[in-house]
Amino acid sequence: MKQIAILSFVLLSFFSCKDDNALEVEISKIETNVTVERFDRAFANAKATDLPNLKSTFPFLFSKRTPDSVWIGRMSDTIQNELHDATYNKFGDFKTETNEIEGLFQHLKYYNKTFAEPRVITLTNTVDYRNKLAVTDSVIVIALDNYLGREHEFYGNIPVYLTQNMEPSQIVVDLAKAYSERQIFQPKKKTLLDEMVYFGKQLYFKDKMIPFKTDAEKIGYSQEQLEFAKVNEDMIWTQFVQNEMLYDTDSSLSARFIAEAPFSKFYLELDNQTPGRLGQYIGWQIVKAYMKNNDVSLKQMLETDAVEIFNKSNYKPSK
């Protein structure tokens, strides 16, 4: 019986992979048009006489409350020039990133027939790492100075657990996250379970929209951190259940297990070995189990209540 069960699992995995490959081939044929407008380069090369043309081309980037003299001053500002040099050296042709954005757009089009490609504009924002990019229906704005690589000298005063994801490879991951936030309908986030499932939805959305990225990249972990989460999934889940955290509304639980942090806080000796955001990881596994065990569309899942997803997921942690 054990051999039959193993064979069944192997066959199921084989046909599942075959179906996934066929789907990706179909999605790769979807026509999309990605043109990246390098405002960062245009501004770096501009003179005072070019400002009217820049304002005409990118009106939404220029506040009416900011006088032209401020923009002209920035053209010769030492720090601005250093930022422009750094982004140019890191993102010369932006080809790799453009190809990944195109892949994201193809998947967005497949799952949402009304999706239309927005303008994609790059700029610098003086390393405002809390605002790496912005997404609207018509425009995407990407601040490239937030993706220069974790070891960059500009990031010396930023915590390591944040600079870990200030890499070029995270641009399309952050874009997928931004698009997920526009499609997830979850009216309340009161309990730890609500938070876990919300971010589980985000991560499953990334599974579908950017399957060409690794799981570690999707969640923003190193490979070692991801392995810790996988190996200790049963222990993590046991802690949540035994300590009755799932339906607890204590806001400190979100800070301990959901928010960006150097590690998760179980108040155990192993805390320093853990990655942060382990609640997000478990939420991801719950949503995966729900989608595996229920015949629902991606859109339906994104709009389903967290408790219903959990109750119908039949989630069991890996041991």
Residue 306 is assigned to a structural domain of this protein: yes
Q: Residue 4: its pLDDT value, please? A: 56
Whether residues 192 and 88 share a domain: the answer is: no
* Residue 96 domain boundaries: 36-178
Q: Residue 186: its pLDDT value, please? A: 80
Instruction: Give the C-alpha distances (Å, rounded to integers) separating 132 from 13, 52, 125, 198, 236.
Output: 38, 26, 8, 21, 31
Total domains in the fold of the chain? 2
- Rounded to an integer, what distance in angstroms lies between the CA atom of residue 90 and that of residue 251? 39
Q: Residue 15: its pLDDT value, please? A: 52
Residue 22 is assigned to a structural domain of this protein: no
Residue 189 is assigned to a structural domain of this protein: yes
Residue 117 is assigned to a structural domain of this protein: yes
For the chain, 319 residues long, give each residue's pLDDT as a single digit of tens.
Answer: 555 545 544 555 555 566 788 999 999 999 999 999 999 999 999 999 999 999 999 999 999 999 999 999 999 999 999 999 999 999 999 999 999 999 999 999 999 999 999 999 999 999 999 999 999 999 999 999 999 999 999 999 999 999 999 999 999 999 999 999 999 988 777 999 999 999 999 999 999 999 999 999 999 999 999 999 999 999 999 999 999 999 999 999 999 999 999 999 999 999 999 999 999 999 999 999 999 999 999 999 999 999 999 999 999 997 7
- Rounded to an integer, what distance in angstroms lies between the CA atom of residue 95 and that of residue 262? 32
Instruction: Give the C-alpha distances (Å, rounded to integers) separating 234 from 152, 274, 317, 318.
Output: 37, 14, 5, 6
The pTM of the full predicted model, rounded to 2 decimals, is: 0.92
Residue-wise DSSP of the chain: -HHHHHHHHHHHHHHHHHHHHHHHHHHHTS-----EEEHHHHHHT--GGGHHHHHHHSGGGS-TTS-HHHHHHHHT-HHHHHHHHHHHHH-SS-HHHHHHHHHHHHHHHHH-TT--PPEEEEE--SS-TT--EEE-SSEEEEEGGG-S-TT-GGGTTS-HHHHTT-SGGGHHHHHHHHHHHHH---S---SHHHHHHHHHHHHHHHHHH-TTS-HHHHHT--HHHHHHHHHTHHHHHHHHHHTT-TT---THHHHHHTS--SS---SSGGGGGSPS-HHHHHHHHHHHHHHHHS---HHHHHTS-HHHHHHHH------
Whether residues 168 and 224 share a domain: the answer is: no
Tell me which of 152, 178, 204 is where a domain ends: 178
Residue 56 is assigned to a structural domain of this protein: yes
Q: Residue 319: its pLDDT value, please? A: 73
